[in-house]
Chain A
Amino acid sequence: MNMKEVVKPAVVLLIIAGIAAALLGVVSEVTKAPIAAQTEKTLNEGMMAVMPDGGSFTEITDAEKTGTIQAIYKAENGGFVITTAPGGFGGAVNTMVGIGEDGVITGLRVTSHSETPGLGAKSTDPSFYEQFAGKSGTLAVTKDGGEIVPITSSTITSRAVCSGAQEALDWVAANGGAY
């Protein structure tokens, strides 16, 4: 095998890879702003849904995140929006909870999950998540002596959402005054 047979293919491959990398660099620059805008829009829509009169929200970055808490946002009206990721049946159930200044839940949404379609996935139905609005103190499903009516045949998912909301309530009770 002579040198030319080895070098030429390698050079061609390198050139193609170089052009590909340059092209992707351009595409990634162009789409950076729209992607960031989309992410922010989704987040804002979620926060508006769980706390309709929250005004604008700012993230609290220096707070101690207990349990599965992912992020904490302070609302203009003194309330908090907290995202948690309690473990459900098929993985984390990402839950967003709005809690007013008085420590009462203003709204709750399950933002993403990998629960069973038709069973645990019903945690995104209004009939389930609307139960949480107006609740405070200690949350539990009816089976565990609480007030939340679980999704039919999906107690594990329902418990997960409850524990996510509980973590958020406990955080506000313990640290809410400091922010």
Chain B
Amino acid sequence: MNLILLVLAGIFVNNYVLSQFLGICPFLGVSKKVDTAAGMGMAVIFVMSLAAAVAWLVYAFILEPLGITYLYNIAFILVIASLVQFVEMFLKKAAPALYQALGVFLPLITTNCAVLGVAVLNMQKDYNFIQAVLNALGGAIGFALAIVLFAGIRERIADNDTPKAFDGFPMALLTAGLMSIAFLGFSGLIKL
């Protein structure tokens, strides 16, 4: 039961983009069209869950036993970077169709701070393996939901006249702000 709540909290209450500002770069950068936003969302769900799992294993079975936990930041970022590379190579060979859909988004994920953020949060909160993976999964689904909704709104705004000074980023930021208010409505719903 608590595990289901953990996932739901990640999606709605502690939404990484709209309430914790993790993963803002791809959120603003790849959200002009719903198709690409959905592709980015899928790629993030895939990589983030996998990265959280591997980072947890590295921390529990390498860094902690050796007493070198102070290297966690370097270790996590290298795990994520090499994992992204590995996933890219694997998909290219094993699932060309999926690679076609997600390929261009994969390199961008290395600098998505939500991925590293989840790994660090899991460590700080002392989550066990299952909690860590589910926390990442919830957070990633929340990211995908937010970016797809956001892209939908931006597609519509693009066809309308906006004040000239607000063209581009300011308009996108205002939209994100309004979405963030909507997501504030979820806060306090789930107690963990």
The interface bits of chain B over 64-99 (1 if a CB of A lies within 8 angstroms of the residue's CB, else 0) are 000010110010001000000000000000000000
Instruction: List, sorted by A's number, 15 A–B pairs whose CB atoms are closer than 8 Å.
Output: A17-B74, A20-B74, A21-B68, A21-B71, A24-B70, A24-B71, A24-B74, A25-B68, A27-B70, A28-B70, A87-B191, A89-B188, A90-B187, A116-B187, A156-B188
Are A25 and B192 also in contact (CB < 8 A) when A89-B187, A90-B187 are?
A: no
The interface bits of chain B over 163-192 (1 if a CB of A lies within 8 angstroms of the residue's CB, else 0) are 000000000000000000000000110011
Residues of A in contact, count (CB < 8 Å)? 13
Q: How far is the CA of A116 from the CA of B13 in the complex (A)?
A: 13
Query: A residues within 8 Å of B by Cβ?
Result: 17, 20-21, 24-25, 27-28, 87, 89-91, 116, 156
Chain B residues closer than 8 Å to A17, beta-carbon distance: 74, 78
B187 touches A91 (CB 8 A): no
A160 to chain B: closest residue by CB: B191
Closest 4 CB pairs of A and B: A28-B70, A87-B191, A89-B188, A24-B70
Main secondary structure of the interface of A (DSSP, over half): helix
In whole Å, how far is A88's beta carbon from the nearest beta carbon of chain B? Answer: 8
Are A87 and B68 also in contact (CB < 8 A) when A17-B74, A20-B74, A21-B74 are?
A: no
B188 touches A25 (CB 8 A): no
B192 touches A87 (CB 8 A): yes
Chain A residues closer than 8 Å to B74, beta-carbon distance: 17, 20-21, 24
A90 to chain B: closest residue by CB: B187
With contacts defined as CB atoms under 8 Å apart, how many contacts are there between chain A and chain B in the complex? Answer: 22
The range of chain B's interface size is under 10
Chain B residues closer than 8 Å to A156, beta-carbon distance: 188
Chain A residues closer than 8 Å to B71, beta-carbon distance: 21, 24
Which of A20, A91, A116, A156 has the largest number of chain B CB atoms within 10 A? A91
In whole Å, how far is B188's beta carbon from the nearest beta carbon of chain A? Answer: 4
Chain A residues closer than 8 Å to B78, beta-carbon distance: 17
A28 to chain B: closest residue by CB: B70
Chain A residues closer than 8 Å to B70, beta-carbon distance: 24-25, 27-28
Are A90 and B188 also in contact (CB < 8 A) when A17-B74, A21-B68 are?
A: yes
In whole Å, how far is B142's beta carbon from the nearest beta carbon of chain A? Answer: 16
B73 to chain A: closest residue by CB: A24
Q: How far is the CA of A174 from the CA of B71 in the complex (A)?
A: 44
A91 touches B188 (CB 8 A): no
Q: How far is the CA of A20 from the CA of B192 in the complex (A)?
A: 38
Chain B residues closer than 8 Å to A89, beta-carbon distance: 187-188
Chain B residues closer than 8 Å to A91, beta-carbon distance: 192
In whole Å, how far is B140's beta carbon from the nearest beta carbon of chain A? Answer: 20
In whole Å, how far is A142's beta carbon from the nearest beta carbon of chain B? Answer: 20
Q: How far is the CA of A156 from the CA of B190 in the complex (A)?
A: 12
In whole Å, how far is B148's beta carbon from the nearest beta carbon of chain A? Answer: 25
In whole Å, how far is B70's beta carbon from the nearest beta carbon of chain A? Answer: 4
Which of B71, B78, B191 has the largest number of chain A CB atoms within 10 A? B191
In whole Å, how far is A10's beta carbon from the nearest beta carbon of chain B? Answer: 12
Q: How far is the CA of A90 from the CA of B71 in the complex (A)?
A: 30
In whole Å, how far is B183's beta carbon from the nearest beta carbon of chain A? Answer: 13
Q: How far is the CA of A89 from the CA of B14 in the complex (A)?
A: 12
In whole Å, how far is B187's beta carbon from the nearest beta carbon of chain A? Answer: 6
